[in-house]
Amino acid sequence: MARRNREIGKAGWGYTAITSVVGFIYFFPVFWIILTAFKTRTDALATPPKLFFTPTLDNFTSVFYRASITTGTSQATDMGLYFFNSIFIAGTSVGLALIVGTLAAYAFSRYPLRGNDTYLFIILTTRMMPPIVVIIPIFLMFRLSGLAGSYWGIILLYTAFNIPFSVWLVKSFFDELNPEIEDAARMDGATEGRVFFRFCIPQILAGLSATFVFGLILTWNEFLFALLLTGVETRTVPVAMARTLGGEVGVDYGLLAAIVTLFLIPIFFVTFLLQNQLLRGVTFGTVKK
Amino acid sequence: MADAAHHRGGFGAWLLDPKRRGALLVTPAIAILFVMNIFPLMWSFGLSFFNYKASSLKVPKFKGLDNYHDVLTDEKVWERFQTTAIIVSASVVLQLIIGFLLALMFAKAFPMRRIVLMLVLTPMMLSFVSVGVFFKLFYEPTFGIVSFVINLFTEERFVLLGSPEGAIAGIVIADAWMWSPFVMLLVLAGLVSVPKYLYEAAEIDRASAWRRFWTITFPYIKSLLLLAVLFRTIETFKLFDIVYIITEGGPGSTTETIAVYLYRTAFQFFKTSQSSALAYIVLFIVIVLTNLYLYAVNRRAEEID
């Protein structure tokens, strides 16, 4: 029922105006960060803080090109590579976790093992644990196995972080489906593969998208493990962001804000496109039909 | 593929036997989890019984439960737990209130809802690093916008992060701002799951708005609220980046959370084994919380059935 009339009542443009004001107040810190990205160094640290100023694109330019002090020529930074790394690493690991997690979730839902709940609980515990518990062994493990600094190392690690979440969420979607329809399909001679791909997956697509967005939001900004386990070639944007903080002249807020703004764009659009699915999938499947 | 046919009745058939289908489908997930999570966990569990230091080459000695004894009798650790508890409870309560109010606002359908909702969802998509750095700037006495606004009303120089209470407030505000949207999503899902006919019936009965809320809406969102509380408690318990950037645990060590302390023990003092022991105590607490969380999920499922 909930899916057919999802909202309580309807309101008009007046209501839109009120919510926009509240929404904008909530959004204000983000707005300020975006403004800072267009400010010169002096404007960024002006007293009192400046709301109106002459905008500049210098910060965005210096995200990708930095003037060398010694030679005066501009040098390309590796920020483009870091953006690629972030997108590639987060996208691959969340996708991989979704595939592996969906298979496991299907098994947990349709072919319960002995000790099913125990397995599920152990899986969930690994998600709930403070990351610092495993950081030293993982660091040593990555160094010994040569995974440190490689794409596969960090991708596998992030995949592992996303699996518990994917399994739990997707299992709840499978649980909601009516198994009788699947049995009927089997009677008609459909193979197991066909039942899975043609009957189950299409029905939970919205849920799968929600799981993907959630995983992406949580992985996109991961910092601690990326800091310790990525190398020069595989560095992600949050790590690069933190590296702009050090420096003798203090934080370059304009530059940082420009990176934050650019880094916000991809995740913002993915979330915007999949917003309806996100709202539906967020309940961990506990809101039924 | 020809090979697979050749082995029909052999290993391939054994593996694909319907009896093993469940186990087969679960294997990739469990394998990755084992290598990347469970194995390192067991490793650090082992470490917690030695006096291993990541910075020293000496062969570690077995110390039995000494590390656990040291950690549990350390007054500093209890202080850190207290700080963590204060930050967690303040932040979670704030997230609940804000998240709940936002959800009420967005439960109605209105023009451009999708776009306005994005304004509220954005904080969740920022990195902890950037939220930390910019909130620190907002609180800054001279350049900060928060200080500027407050100085419109008072002449006194506003130094939020100077006092322990202020510093805690600063952390809590940043964290709550970032994660209230998450609570909002959960509550919103609860609100829209209330069957409409209940409201229609209430209207016929002329029930007051207050009564409608407590008798119709609240029962539907009760366990989702609990779910939000537990999920956010577990996550906030691990709070590290924001604290580390905004206050570095200061002034003094008044805002040092257990996660920051854990980081310091492990990476500044290189007491690897001791930090593992402490980490396991934290893990124990998290497991207790997880059980509560599962209990809430199950109750929710039962209620809906």
pLDDT digits (tens, 9 = 90+) for A166-180: 888 888 788 877 788
CA distance A223 to A213: 18
Query: How would DSSP label each residue in A4-16?
Result: TS-SSSB--HHHH
- Residue among A84, A48, A235, A57 nearest A149 (CA): A235
Query: How would DSSP label each residue in A55-109?
Result: ---HHHHHHHEEE-TTT--EEE-SHHHHHHHHHHHHHHHHHHHHHHHHHHHHHHH
> What are B109-141's pLDDT values in tens digits?
888 888 999 999 999 999 888 899 999 989 988
A156: nearest CB among B32, B192, B263: B32
| Amino acid letter, residue A283 | T
Residues 249-288 of chain B with CB under 8 A from chain A are 259, 262-263, 266, 272, 275-276, 279-280, 282-283, 286-287
- Residue among B219, B130, B188 nearest A260 (CA): B130
Regarding whether A237 and A148 lie in a shared domain, the answer is: yes
Q: Using a CB–CB cutoff of 8 Å, tell me whether A30 touches chain B.
A: yes
SS3 category, B109: strand
Looking at chain B, the domain(s) classified CATH 1.10.3720.10 span 66-304
Mean pLDDT of the region B204-214? 81
Regarding whether A130 and A55 lie in a shared domain, the answer is: no
> Is A247 inside any structural domain?
no
Give yes or no for a contact between B80 and B257, defined as CB atoms under 8 angstroms apart.
yes
Q: Using a CB–CB cutoff of 8 Å, tell me whether A25 touches chain B.
A: no
Q: What six digits make up the tokens of B222?
A: 């009760």
| Amino acid letter, residue B149 | V
- CA of B165 vs chain A CAs: smallest distance (Å): 22
pLDDT of A97 = 96
Q: Using a CB–CB cutoff of 8 Å, tell me whether B178 touches chain A.
A: no
Query: For A228, which DSSP code?
Result: H
Regarding whether A100 and A31 lie in a shared domain, the answer is: no
Range of the structural domain that residue A36 is part of: 13-76
Contact between chains at B26 and A282 (C-beta distance less than 8 A): no
pLDDT of A1 = 37
Greater pLDDT, A159 or B20: A159
% residues pLDDT > 70 (chain B) = 92
pLDDT of B50 = 83
pLDDT of A267 = 93
Regarding whether A66 and A184 lie in a shared domain, the answer is: no
Q: How many CB pairs under 8 A join A and B?
A: 293
> Is A45 inside any structural domain?
yes
Q: Using a CB–CB cutoff of 8 Å, tell me whether A242 touches chain B.
A: yes
Greater pLDDT, A52 or A93: A93
Q: Which residue of B has its CA nearest to A287?
A: B193
Q: Considering A55, A76, A97, which residue would you say is the last residue of a domain?
A: A76
Regarding whether A170 and A87 lie in a shared domain, the answer is: yes
Query: What is the CATH topology of the domain spanning B66-304?
Result: MetI-like fold (1.10.3720)
Q: What six digits make up the tokens of B92?
A: 């979670």
Q: What six digits make up the tokens of B201?
A: 């019936």
Residues 30-49 of chain B with CB under 8 A from chain A are 30, 32-33, 35-41, 43-44, 47
| E strand or H helix that includes residue B81 | helix B75-106
Greater pLDDT, A206 or B85: B85
A4 burial type by CB count under 10 A (0-12 exposed, 13-18 middle, 19+ buried): exposed
> What are B273-291's pLDDT values in tens digits?
888 888 888 888 878 877 7
Q: Which residue of A has its CA nearest to B178?
A: A26
In DSSP terms, A76 is beta-bridged to: A65
B127: nearest CB among A9, A26, A238: A238
Which CATH number fits the domain that encloses residue A134?
Answer: 1.10.3720.10
Q: Considering A37, A57, A76, which residue would you say is the last residue of a domain?
A: A76
How many domains, chain A?
Answer: 2
B133: nearest CB among A19, A121, A245: A245
pLDDT of B1 = 43
Regarding whether A137 and A94 lie in a shared domain, the answer is: yes
Q: Considering A60, A76, A92, which residue would you say is the last residue of a domain?
A: A76
> Is A3 inside any structural domain?
no
Is residue B17 over pLDDT 80? Answer: no
Q: Which residue of A has its CA nearest to B235?
A: A128
CA distance B80 to B275: 14
Regarding whether A92 and A168 lie in a shared domain, the answer is: yes
What ipTM describes this predicted complex? Answer: 0.84
Regarding whether A194 and A266 lie in a shared domain, the answer is: yes
| Amino acid letter, residue A204 | I
Regarding whether A60 and A168 lie in a shared domain, the answer is: no
